[in-house]
């Protein structure tokens, strides 16, 4: 494989490609490093990708797996989600060109299937028989489903107050669902402690985190391929831990480095909910690290008060000329509705955050007239129904034409 | 005052293999100093050169991140438990 080692992002200490996520010298995060062939015929590299399966394994050469390309009709293949040109959304916001990457169209309806596919496959290569995770909901769905698909036991730890839809869509797969009395950061602390003592468990976002995080690069790979091997000028991406946001940039960068793409990576805009906005606050204050917060927002899938990749997200926003913004719960609801009304895509609260931040950037005049913008929609509206409850009205009628017409006449509407 | 300090897996070889050690002190900082007095190599792993905690080290007092309290100056009651953990997990 092209992956060569794990390397600490802080002090550059190198480690073999094992189940290890933190540098034992400085506690910095470990990241997968590759040795890609830069002399290869680019046309051949593109054909090899395009001839691959309709899922993330078409990018197998850019993922940290040892074995041959995983069987593509087994397990729970993720990715190859639609990239839709959203002209009505663009027009509403006064923008030229907006593309929506709809990652709700994954097996468990969120981008988490990408990261879990890579982590679970690597976990099997390393000999693990059990998957586990700390989750704000979408990851819980995905780990439980991958455990079922791959025949691995799973333990899924979530905050006890998580949306009912996300609990149901986890438990149905037959996992060990553990509701922790506390917020996500409490769940994460517990899992970090557990992972030290459960050596045969692959915690996808703890001891498998370097591999897991690589799965997010496939969002960038797909966008570039779907745009005909070009990059958007700007990406708007939600931030919880900051892993997706930073890895999308890494994905574009890797394709530039091997010659698959030309130019600078996109301007990267991060999106947070005001009720949990440690990265947006640090960005605004000009700081290079985040002060943790206690989350209080309807966007529970983004409710990480102590974001692991916060410092790197801040670096990335500044290096690309982007920003990290936050929006209120009402703006999140409005964002969900705006996306639904203009694209036909019903997203969860995280997508509401991302759409609302796009609207904010447009209103602020941050987006140039000629820009091509990609909006990353990470999850499905049916998982957070409470966010939109009571936000619309319906006509209730008897089953006859008089009643039907009377109902509209009452509202002064002619049909 | 005696405090229990839980050592993360990654640092146990520098603490003689112990999963937890007893420390003395009335603040988090003092308690950690007393651990360093026994196990000197731990200081460099946890602290930056300016004497503050490294940015990817989390310390919890009875489950609460000390950054929500008074940091290294946080008072520790006798019998309390401090937990040191890497910060890069999750997401």
Per residue in B18-36, pLDDT (tens digit) is: 999 999 999 999 999 999 9
* Portion of chain A with pLDDT greater than 90, in percent: 92
The whole-angstrom distance between A192's CA and the closest CA on chain B is: 7
**Cβ-contact A119, A21 below 8 angstroms:** no
User: Is A189 close to B60, i.e. CB distance below 8 A?
Assistant: yes
Per residue in A155-173, pLDDT (tens digit) is: 999 999 999 999 999 999 9
State in Å, rounded, how far the first CA of chain B is from the last one. 37
Q: Is the predicted pLDDT of residue A10 greater than 70, yes or no?
A: yes
- CA pair distance B71, B54, nearest whole angstrom: 12
Q: Inform me whether the C-beta atom of residue B50 falls under 8 Å from chain A C-beta atoms.
A: no
Q: Inform me whether the C-beta atom of residue B89 falls under 8 Å from chain A C-beta atoms.
A: yes
Q: Is the predicted pLDDT of residue A71 greater than 80, yes or no?
A: no
Q: Is B58 helix (H, G, I), strand (E, B) or coil?
A: strand
List the structure tokens of B19. Answer: 């999963």
The whole-angstrom distance between A27's CA and the closest CA on chain B is: 6
Of B57, B63, B89, the CB nearest to A308: B89
Q: Is the predicted pLDDT of residue A309 greater than 90, yes or no?
A: yes
Comparison of pLDDT for B50 and A71, the residue scoring more: B50
User: Is A27 close to B45, i.e. CB distance below 8 A?
Assistant: yes
- CA pair distance A357, A351, nearest whole angstrom: 10
Mutation to test the B interface, candidates A15, A20, A22, most B Cβ within 10 Å: A22
User: Is B57 close to A189, i.e. CB distance below 8 A?
Assistant: no
Orientation of helix A243-257 relative to helix A217-226, angle to 10°: 50
**Cβ-contact A374, A99 below 8 angstroms:** yes
Orientation of helix A138-150 relative to helix A164-171, angle to 10°: 10
List the structure tokens of A22. Answer: 């933190």
State ipTM.
0.94
Orientation of helix A329-343 relative to helix A349-364, angle to 10°: 90
- CA pair distance A303, A242, nearest whole angstrom: 12
Q: Is A297 helix (H, G, I), strand (E, B) or coil?
A: coil
Per residue in A356-395, pLDDT (tens digit) is: 999 999 999 999 999 999 999 999 999 999 999 988 889 9
Q: Is the predicted pLDDT of residue A37 greater than 80, yes or no?
A: no
pLDDT the model gives residue A175: 98
Q: Is the predicted pLDDT of residue A39 greater than 70, yes or no?
A: no
Dihedral over alpha carbons A169, A171, A172, A173 (to 10 degrees): 100
User: Is A308 close to B91, i.e. CB distance below 8 A?
Assistant: yes
User: Is B86 close to A22, i.e. CB distance below 8 A?
Assistant: yes
* Chain A neighbors of B90, CB-CB under 8 A: 134, 184-185, 188, 191-192, 205-206, 241, 304, 308
- CA pair distance A394, A251, nearest whole angstrom: 44
User: Is B86 close to A192, i.e. CB distance below 8 A?
Assistant: yes
Task: Mention every residue, 6+ apart, whose C-beta is less than 8 A from residue A350.
Answer: A238, A240, A299, A301, A302, A378, A379
Per residue in B55-74, pLDDT (tens digit) is: 899 999 999 999 999 999 99
Dihedral over alpha carbons A176, A108, A220, A134 (to 10 degrees): -20
């Amino acid at each position: 494989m092209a992956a060569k080692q794990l390397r600490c992002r802080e002090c550059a200490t190198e480690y073999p490609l094992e189940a290890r996520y933190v540098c034992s010298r400085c506690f910095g995060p470990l990241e997968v490093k590759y040795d890609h062939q830069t002399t290869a015929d680019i046309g051949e590299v593109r054909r090899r990708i395009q001839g691959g399966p309709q899922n993330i394994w078409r990018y197998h050469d850019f993922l940290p797996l040892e074995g041959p390309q995983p069987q593509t009709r087994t397990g729970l293949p993720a990715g190859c989600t639609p990239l839709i040109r959203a002209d009505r959304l663009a027009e509403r916001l006064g923008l030229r060109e907006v593309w929506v990457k709809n990652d709700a169209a994954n097996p468990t309806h969120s981008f988490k299937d990408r990261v879990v596919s890579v982590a679970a496959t690597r976990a099997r290569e390393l000999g693990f028989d059990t998957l586990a995770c700390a989750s704000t909901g979408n990851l819980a769905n995905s780990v439980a489903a991958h455990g079922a698909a791959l025949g691995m036991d799973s333990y899924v730890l979530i905050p006890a107050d998580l949306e009912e839809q996300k609990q149901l869509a986890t438990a149905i797969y037959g996992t060990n669902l553990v509701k922790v009395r506390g917020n996500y950061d409490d769940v994460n602390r517990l899992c970090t402690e557990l992972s030290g003592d459960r050596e045969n468990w692959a915690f996808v976002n703890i001891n498998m985190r370097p591999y897991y995080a690589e799965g997010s690069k496939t969002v960038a790979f797909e966008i570039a391929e779907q745009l005909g091997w070009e990059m958007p000028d700007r990406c708007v991406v939600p931030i919880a831990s900051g892993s997706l946001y930073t890895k999308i940039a890494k994905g574009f960068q890797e394709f530039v480095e091997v010659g698959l793409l030309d130019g600078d990576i996109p301007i990267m805009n991060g999106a947070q909910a005001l009720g949990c906005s440690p990265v947006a606050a640090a960005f605004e204050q000009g700081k290079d690290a985040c002060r943790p917060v206690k989350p209080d927002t309807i966007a529970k899938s983004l409710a990480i008060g102590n974001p692991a990749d916060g410092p790197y997200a801040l670096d990335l926003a500044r290096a690309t000329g982007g920003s990290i913004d936050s929006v209120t719960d009402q703006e999140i609801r409005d964002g969900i509705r705006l996306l639904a009304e203009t694209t036909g895509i019903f997203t969860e609260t995280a997508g509401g955050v991302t759409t609302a931040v796009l609207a904010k950037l447009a209103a602020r005049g941050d987006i140039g007239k000629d820009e091509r913008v990609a909006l990353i929609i990470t999850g499905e509206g049916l998982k957070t129904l409470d966010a939109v409850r009571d936000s619309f009205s319906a006509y209730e009628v008897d089953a006859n034409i008089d009643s039907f017409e009377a109902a509209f006449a009452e509202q002064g509407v002619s049909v | 005052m005696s405090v229990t300090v839980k050592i993360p897996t990654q640092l146990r070889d520098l603490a003689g293999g112990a999963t937890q050690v007893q420390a003395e002190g009335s603040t988090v900082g003092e308690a950690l100093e007393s651990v360093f007095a026994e196990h000197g190599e731990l200081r460099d792993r946890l602290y930056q050169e300016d004497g503050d905690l490294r940015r990817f080290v989390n310390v919890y007092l009875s489950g609460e991140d000390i950054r929500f309290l008074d940091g290294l100056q946080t008072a520790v009651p006798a019998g309390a438990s401090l937990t040191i953990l890497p910060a890069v997990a999750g997401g």
